[in-house]
Structure 1
Amino acid sequence: MGSYDGTVSVSADRFIEIDSTFITSRILEIISGNKSYRFILPLKPGRNVLSIGKLVCFPKVETWIAPELSLGSKGKIRLLFVDGNIENDWVSWDSLGINSTSLKLRRSASKIRTLSGANVWKNSALSDVSSRKTSCIGTEASPGFENRSLPFFQKEYSENLNSILDPWISFNLDRNSPSDGSIQVFTFQPNGSVRLSTSGFLNLWSDLRSGILGSLNIRKEVLNYLVPVGGEELVGIPGSSGILISAVYPNPTVSTNEWLSICNWGLESVDVRNLEIRDSSSSDRLVEYSFRFGINTPLGWINYNPTSFGWIFSDRFLNSGECGYILSPNFKNESVPFHSSTFRKVFTIDKTTTIGNGIGKNEGLDLFQEIQGNLVHIHSYGNQLSPFPFSIDADTDDLILLKENRSGDSSSDYEIKKKGNL
């Protein structure tokens, strides 16, 4: 995306950096927009930089100059062996980094190694000021130098260790960071935050609660947000009941056909009548569909939806491993995309005609559960009650899906698909 030299945009500062441990050659393939091209690159040990022109904001950095290099907001880069067939490394990007024309701010995307050894992409930060032009204070990048980032938490997913409710979390603190290693724990219900200092760690959430956080009375039944002080993102630990908002259909062609789905990833059955869904302006209690409509099913349901596993409209409990639909009360004459032995229960809201005030196409939703007479916050789509909310714009008939083994920490935990294509 380039740099900012003061307020002047410098497109020539677009670059790609490739690390190599020895002298070799590779083919670099770039697919961006409607362009696709390859370069044969001789690589030296260390960091090799390829750029459109001589870097303005990093004039001391030695680069391979390729004027035809094009890096749009979306694309894919592959590093191939010289035979052109075997892939050595790749990255597919969609608006990686930061490009703010209003703030005159640009930050590259860097591959950072976490404490577990996993590689993740983060926004660059903490540039080496001795290598950056003094007038380029709005540019954060480290071409030719060690990648740097703000402190961040990372949920370390693996085949054997990816529990949503008890995740393996690493706290990654750049050695160049001025941060003192402090973290904050936020909850909305009850509202409050706790701050403490620690060092980088790799540990289970349960160990954190009984270890360094054990004396802080962290409540496992509520949604907890962990935020590194000086960072720009969070991780969330859903409430221990394990009920998560798994999909949102906010912008159907027929506006009354909006819905969302919830899944139970906890160990115990949950009474949906103890659940409440909230948008930005109103809230609704959930009920089994028959509680409100008796023996009637949504108009046209049998014609539009398969019956191979049967549908359950009269069960108020969502068992462990099950998912269910929360339909708008006026839902009719449309299909739903998922149907299985564990995804066949249908719920709705108890009184009004719309879910919340009608789910906006970029609106967040929060899920609450009544526990011992009190409503507590257990999950969120959008994290609008946190220090780092996000929103996803949904086009007509877009279905927003929570990715497998993700809990909704940021927009990257979701994927968007057209409902008709499922």
Structure 2
Amino acid sequence: SLTSFNYNKEIFLKFDNSILEIYKPYNTTFISNTHKGIYSMIPDNGEPKHHNSIESDYLKRDFKNENFMSPGQKNPESVEPENFQLEFSEINLYGEYDSNGNSITSDKFIELNNNNFSGSIILEYSNILENSKYQIKIEKDSKFPIILSKELTCNPGYDSIIINDISLSKKTGEWKIIYNSKVLDKFYFNSSSPIVIDSSTEKKRKSIVRTGNTWKPSLLEASINCGYINSSPGRKNNFKEFLEKNQLTGNWKLNSPTGNIPDYIFLTAKTYPEITKTFTIYKNGNNEFNLTNLIYEFPENSLIYFGTSIGDESYLNLSNLFISKVNPYPENSQDEWIMICNYSNNSIPVKSLEIKDENSFDEIIPFGQRFPDLRGYSVSLNLNPFNEFLGPKQCAYIVDPDANISLLNDISSFTNLILTVKDTGIGNGISPDEKLDLFQKIDSYRIHLASYGNQYSNSPFVWKTKKGEIIYLKPGKEGYNPEDYSIE
């Protein structure tokens, strides 16, 4: 009975005294569904392939849009794709954590990057003990098809190919994309690789994303409901900008998820606090940079980018996070605050941020996390003292732990996030002539995001304010120069 057809069984057609084998099983699981609908299986040079994406005149109108098959008709001729590329794009083989830190081990996936491909491929996984093959249909209009065993909890909205019995194991092994017996791409997963971020202690997981031939941990937060996973299935990959040495030319290539390449950049040779020298790297066409000279003085009026170096790879910061306002001298010294604004397209986990005055670093946390009762203050309904993420185009107040948050003004949906620090005050207390720097701590490294005052450059500056005056970053400015600010 075809009602209970099993792909592991053979099918024969009998006529007169002859028997014709029309289907024989082979060690590949055939997946008939995509996000568009169901595909029939047709023979192609002795091997089963997916039916083309065409609608049959023999099907009822209600079935045409979601069923691609042609019963009672000649099978359509296969059309070979031209000028295509299909490759692995993002891998998560260990699951995710929800916003409460609970492990969701079923949230695993493999994402492909599809450029102009449509056809039937084999996804193969192999290690020393096992070998599995899955034949799947890739749609031409599916830019980032996602292969998974069930719908994801943390990342809605993608073109899914669900394979119920697929084993997305985090064991060390190799994945391949095969088309017409040719390997289009392959990926070797090593669970002990340093790019695999899967920490049960910190409740932190990051998928692995691809840029060119390099794989990096994902930088993009999944969603506000799953704050312990960085991944972006169905979307463009996001990663920390880094420099990669071209082994042929010796030049360095900047890899940026935004594609915004500056004409020149400054890269520190050492991480904080060993600030002794920087590289000046100039663009040399084709997105490559010449390492021209080693300098011991910082360029005038420039912000220093803190980076890390591992082998032939260096990380750097091209931040869209700015110190936009400073209230260093309020009527009550406890009511000092700093405003930071996120002009990027990504949410930023605030608990990874640190603020530094001229004396010490302070970890930033949501105000409501430190003071769940908000210290008894009655606050505006627009105020958000509990959120752990600074959203795109959103600003946040960083207030002294003893501040009266009910006095904050200029509260809107874009400026309603209230943060504070873990210590007793912001640094040792902000003074009217103090410089400030914003960092993001990633693992054991501090990445410099923004500065008011450029205290690490050879041309630091400061605006001396009177009581009650606020320092503003001018629209369109980045804060590298004193002229970027005004006082009101």
More contact order relative to length (CA 8 Å, sep ≥ 6): 1
- TM band (smaller chain): 0.3 to 0.5
**TM-score of the superposed pair, with normalisation by structure 1:** 0.45
